[in-house]
Amino acid sequence: MRFLCEILTDEQIQAIGENYALGATKTSEVIFWQIDIQGKVRTGKIMQYNPDTGRRLKHESGAIDWVHNKLKKIGTLPEDFNLQQCFFGEHLLKLYPEKTVAIVESEKSAIIASAIVSDSVWLSTGQLNGLSIEKAKVLKGRNVILLPDLSGYDKWCIKADEIKLFVECEIKVSTILEDIVTEAQRSKGLDIADYKIVELKNKKK
């Protein structure tokens, strides 16, 4: 939230918190809850960010933890609990049935983009390989735009063709980043939020 205050208004930040039900741990890590289209919580992805740069902090044990893993450790969930992930933000599909669906890789990108382009429902796959036919079943009947990171464009084009065969939806892969990218930026695998953050910071200044 401290980082978002550098680029967004209080109203935008409040809308993000309410729409995506963001949570936090006692050690200031963000909890991105995975809530499915029926309103059921599947798990929560736990990550920590630098409050000044907004970039993810990586530790020796890795940068990501999960709520279901913590619940297993304290015996609240059985060891054989079988996680079935869904899109981050999936619960918003039911709230906004007429809106175009925009899908990005990272949760941070989804929430920032949602504040800037509010006429779309922004979802996140959580990772490059997080886009699947099984997850995409909730997109039936929707108009869908995929906005992969620069490193994932070709892979998501293939995945989009696969989804079309099994899910009745209009789906296309945006070339917005491919059209403006430099080779240096491509090597960093930047995403749509990286561009908007720079733009918004300059605008605030």
| pTM exceeds 0.75, yes or no | yes
- Whether 17 and 115 map to the same domain: the answer is no
- Whether 154 and 194 map to the same domain: the answer is yes
pLDDT value for 60: 53
Cα separation, 100 vs 64, in Å, equals: 30
Residue-averaged pLDDT of the chain: 89
Picking from 41, 73, 105, the residue at the C-terminal end of a domain is 73
User: Which residue range is the domain that position 116 belongs to?
Assistant: 92-204
- Whether 173 and 97 map to the same domain: the answer is yes
R_g of the chain, CA atoms, integer Å = 17
Cα separation, 130 vs 120, in Å, equals: 20
Mean pLDDT of 43-69: 84
Cα separation, 63 vs 103, in Å, equals: 22
Mean pLDDT of 170-188: 79
- In the structure, what pLDDT confidence band is assigned to residue 185 with cuts at 50, 70 and 90? low
106 domain-assigned = yes
149: region left, alpha or beta (phi > 0 left; psi from -120 to 50 alpha): beta
- In the structure, what pLDDT confidence band is assigned to residue 62 with cuts at 50, 70 and 90? low
* Model confidence at 59: pLDDT above 70: no
- Whether 59 and 123 map to the same domain: the answer is no
pLDDT value for 57: 83
Whichever domain contains 126, its CATH number is 3.40.1360
pLDDT value for 132: 95
